[in-house]
Structure 1
Amino acid sequence: MEETTSYPPVEPSNFDLIVVGTGLPEAILAAAASAAGKSVLHLDPNPSYGSHYASLPLQEFTSYIESHSSQSSSNLPIPQSDTDSGFTRVPLTTQPLYSSVEITSYSSEPLEQSRKFNIDLSGPRVLLCADAMIDLILKSEVNQYMEFKNIDGSFISDGEGNLESVPDSRSAIFKDRKLSFTEKNQLMRFFKLVQGHLEAAAAADGGESSESKSISEQDLESPFVEFLSKMGLSAKLKSIVLYAIAMAEYDQENGDVCRSVLKTKYGIDRLALYHSSIGRFPNAPGAMIYPIYGQGELPQAFSRRAAVKGCIYVLRMPVNSLLMDKASGSYKGVCLASEQELFSHKLILAPSFVVQSPLPHSSPDAHDFGSRNTTEKLARSICISKHSLKLDVTAIHVLQLSSNVAVCPSGMFLTYLSAICEDDVQGKKLLHAAINVLFHVPVSGSSGNNNFAEDQSETGDAKPALLWSVLYTQELAKFQDVLDNIIHTPMPDGSPYYHDLLGATEKIFQELYSGEEFFPKSTSSEEGAAQELED
């Protein structure tokens, strides 16, 4: 006889906003709405916070990826379509957001220490010290729930697989022994030109005159790679600026594969953000920081902030259907797995949820609300080794972490890789090529979670031996469906930073509550919060 799950009743039953899913955008929106005085109910069918932005132990990570993949997708139970209460119940189901999951193990050691890992579902990702996300963390005071550590270095391949430091400041340029005297002069002149342009732009915004020379509008609208060539930068320096600092996502010099050309004006903005991040906090001399225990601490921190402001949280609570008014077809509320009906003015859904069509009063050929609306994908990989990387690949974002930030056992390293791709085949081809450059991959390995290769010994190779890896592709949703009072949040994007994701989240908040301030300033000063972040 099957055991029935018992769900506690939720009280009250009426809210301004119901949020389903505890990913980072959902957590930020719940916290912002709560700070604006709205009554918020935050639900998640999962037993922990974070959804697709969580940081999980190794075995839980693989279980999550596999359970949300196309190979083993499952829908929530579909209830009766109509009720006697004047509402139509529209089924809420889930869609697979990962595909082509490939898990390979060469040693039993990582799985034996599974609980010591905190693996990001949205990696590789870091925070720039001057990014809008850091400003929001300080403004909302969620920094009191988190700790950060400085990213020790940024590196780029020299084209032959050799790792070189990124000369991202004047002092770094002078100290770099691998740059020729000519290259140092070229890079210094370029950074000086950019600084002058930014000073001139700031003066113009303030209605003042400046002796600094601005970059012409024609150049600002041109491809950044062409502007760098015009400035006389060598191929090596262009790679440093484009891929290590501006973080361009495509090969900017190959028009056949470049699907997003980075304009000079946006490249300059990225350089400005990067340079303003260097040394912002005394305890973080570099440009980037990373949260201790993983990126999953961010949605948890914003959820805590929302709870302080009165938001009600219920985990392990599936939502079976939406309640739509029979007469008007407008959204009214949700029906939980417990059959309890809850009501709200607005609804936010995580990207894994799909509202089945046709909706009341919609056209018969309407697509399912929340279904995937982009052809791009994001190939991701996570590798575990016992030694630090000696090599790097420029075309793919790579982030290596150690036990210093409490994401893996002492003596092991966690490496994230990602690349935007057109399909699963291209994505895996890119990542396999990168892994073969970065790591010594044993000849024999086992796919899945059994029959692990034992006694993996380090070779004389300069590359670290691979102990365990996973490759998978993730769906990308770059814009959100908006239907009546229901809004979908975005999936983690391909950027290593949070700027675009936060911008999309703030835009959703304005859709929900036009004219409301996105996180009103609290009574405590930002300087005090910044001091806590530094400590």
Structure 2
Amino acid sequence: MDEEYDVIVLGTGLKECILSGLLSVDRLKVLHMDRNDYYGGESASLNLVQLYQKFRNSDKPPPSLGPSRDYNVDMIPKFMMANGQLVRVLIHTDVTKYLAFKAVDGSFVYTKGKIYKVPATDVEAIKSTLMGIFEKRRARKFFIYVQDYNEADPRTHDGMDLSRVTTKELFAHFGLDDNTIDFIGHSLALHRDDRYLSEPALETVKRFKLYAESLARFQGGSPYIYPLYGLGELPQAFARLSAVYGGTYMLQKPDCTIEFDEEGKVRGVTSEGETARTKKVVCDPSYARNKVRKVGKVVRAICIMSHPIPNTNDSSSVQVILPQKQLGRRSDMYVFCCSYSHNVAPKGKFIAFVSTEVETSEPEKELQPGLSLLGPVDEMFIDVYDRFEPVNDWTLDNCFISKSYDPTTHFETTVQDVLAMYTRITGKVLDLSVDLSAASAADE
């Protein structure tokens, strides 16, 4: 502790571990501390006994669920877009050598009370039962336009400047109906509400292209990949990376207190009577309660099942997005399922999560539309947590605080936060122009 560091990172959640890895690769001297005796913080993966200890105050799960050690249950379950920013970060840092991934079987959307496979190409649009015959033709034209769109080549723009044309105007240009717009916006472009409709269409088209490119990458049933043994592997992989580049790790450090000088700038972190000196601190909201504000609440059901989610082609791993409009809500609902195929449960067991932003005083009841899609459930645990975001001015105090994890079941918002924090800490933009073929997802 009695040393000077370039950066001290508090908490070993995924965001903090990615940042300590990136900063260590930049040859900064990093000290990484956590009050817990395990990696992962809020984004840890738990075995069955740990799950029961957390939610039931018991360490005796029923034998019918199988061996505890065969479970790796994510507390913040999220899939990765195969061509997305997180995969680029993994390749940029060479963390891929510590991890094995497998493609996710299915990507579905909930419309008019039913689950449908998300069509992502012009060919899939024609085959999809989501739309009537005339709408299929209109959707196909839109899909071809997006696939061919090249920002640098005006010939592909069809006379539209997408940095000015709103997304709503773009959809109107192709005559798409509300249901088609709903699944394109929420399950392909992964927008979390409908504000995007009045914003320039370019961002939505880029998101759409990312989805289609990710889908094509592994020729699977979805654009997503997921690590074998769960997401708990990710923070540990970045911690390993940081250590390789000279980062120092200290777990089980209680009462980590950020110290400030008389000007209000960070000067170090104290734990157990010792102070490590630094001019910059990175942390999750729990280490800086007086510098964050509550912005919402997430409710999540964790369900152990003995079967795949019905109507998903018996997929052993799957995402289902329930757009807000279909539920009469202000925010989307997300269903995530994985199983023994990703080594997160014993053979024949499936772990499903239903999560959303809390909108009422009865969070559990809000999950009902998602839970009703699952079929019989062996065991269910409910987790409700507050979401925080920083309110401090990091230019004045040098304290860089991550946002809490939202209910989305993909990593796009998480990585945006990490990359923005990296730029604030270092003053530079992370170069993610990498060779994507350097990473592959296992076939088996």
TM superposition score category, shorter chain reference: 0.7 to 0.9
Distance 1:520 1:265, change over 3 A: closer
The reply on whether 1:233 has 2:176 as its aligned counterpart is yes
In structure 2, the residue matched to 1:242 is 185
Which residue does the alignment assign to 2:152?
202
Post-superposition offset of 1:379 = 2.0
The corresponding residue for 1:503 is: 416
Q: Pairwise mapping of residues 119-518 of structure 1 onto structure 2 (< 5 A)? A: 119-123=73-77, 125-160=78-113, 162-176=114-128, 179-196=131-148, 198-199=149-150, 201-203=151-153, 209-210=154-155, 212-216=157-161, 220-222=165-167, 224=168, 227-228=170-171, 231-250=174-193, 252=194, 263=199, 264-281=201-218, 284=220, 286-325=222-261, 327-337=262-272, 339-354=273-288, 368-370=290-292, 372-374=293-295, 376-390=296-310, 394-395=322-323, 396-425=333-362, 427-435=363-371, 437-439=372-374, 464-479=375-390, 481=392, 482=394, 484-515=397-428, 518=430
Structure 1 gaps, min length 5: 1-9, 68-102, 204-208, 253-258, 356-367, 440-463
- Which of the pair has more CA radius of gyration? 1
1:10-36 CA-partner distances (Å, limit 9, x unpaired)? 4x5221111110111111111121111
* Distance in 2 (alpha carbons) for counterparts of 1:415 and 1:233: 33
Q: Is the 8 A contact 1:248 1:262 kept in 2?
A: no
Cα pair 2:305 2:377 within 8 Å, conserved: yes
For 1:183, give the aligned amino acid.
E
Structure 2 unaligned runs (5+)? 312-319, 324-332
Shift of residue 331 of structure 1?
A: 2.5
Deviation of 1:216 (Å): 4.5
- Normalising by structure 2, we get a TM-score of 0.85
State the 4+ residue runs in structure 1 displaced beyond 6 angstroms.
532-535
| Root-mean-square deviation (Å) | 3.1
Q: 1:220 to 1:331 in 2, by over 3 A?
A: same
The TM-score with structure 1 as length reference comes to 0.71
Q: Quick one: which amino acid aligns to residue 467 of structure 1?
A: D
Partner of 1:113: 67
Point out the structure with the larger helix share: 2
AA of the residue aligned to 2:307: H
Partner of 1:22: 12
Query: Cα distance 1:345–1:64, how it changes in 2: closer, same or farther (>3 A)?
Result: farther
- The percentage of aligned residue pairs carrying the same residue is 25
- Distance in structure 2 (CA, Å) of the matches to 1:57 and 1:531: 27
Q: 8 Å contact 1:126–1:290 — kept in the other structure? A: yes
Indicate if the aligned counterparts of 1:393 and 1:434 stay in contact, CA closer than 8 A: no
Measured against aligned partners, the alpha-carbon deviations of 1:477-523 in whole angstroms (never above 9, x if no partner) come to 344633512221221123333233222222222222224x64799xx
The amino acid that maps onto 2:438 is A
C-alpha spacing 1:230/1:378, structure 2 compared with 1 (3 Å): farther
Paired residues of 2:103 and 2:441 also in contact (CA < 8 A):
no
- Distance of 1:528 and 1:507 partners within structure 2: 25
Task: Quote the Cα distance in structure 1 between the aligned partners of 2:38 and 2:50.
Answer: 11
Deviations 1:432-463 (A, max 9, x none): 3431x224xxxxxxxxxxxxxxxxxxxxxxxx
Shift of 1:171: 3.1
**Conserved 8 A contact 2:95-2:238:** yes
- Give the residue type in structure 1 aligned to 2:123: S
After the TM superposition, which residues 44-55 of structure 1 pair with which residues of structure 2 at under 5 Å, given as runs?
Answer: 44-55=34-45
Residues 31 and 348 of structure 1, relative CA distance in 2, 3 Å threshold: same
Query: CA 1:317–1:154 in structure 2 vs 1: closer, same or farther (change >3 Å)?
Result: same
Indicate conservation of the 8 Å contact 2:166/2:198, yes or no: no
How far, CA to CA, are the matches of 2:353 and 2:198 in structure 1? Answer: 24
Worse-matched range after superposition: 53-62 or 114-123: 53-62
Q: Distance in 1 between matches of 2:128 and 2:432?
A: 44
Matched position secondary structure for 1:42: strand
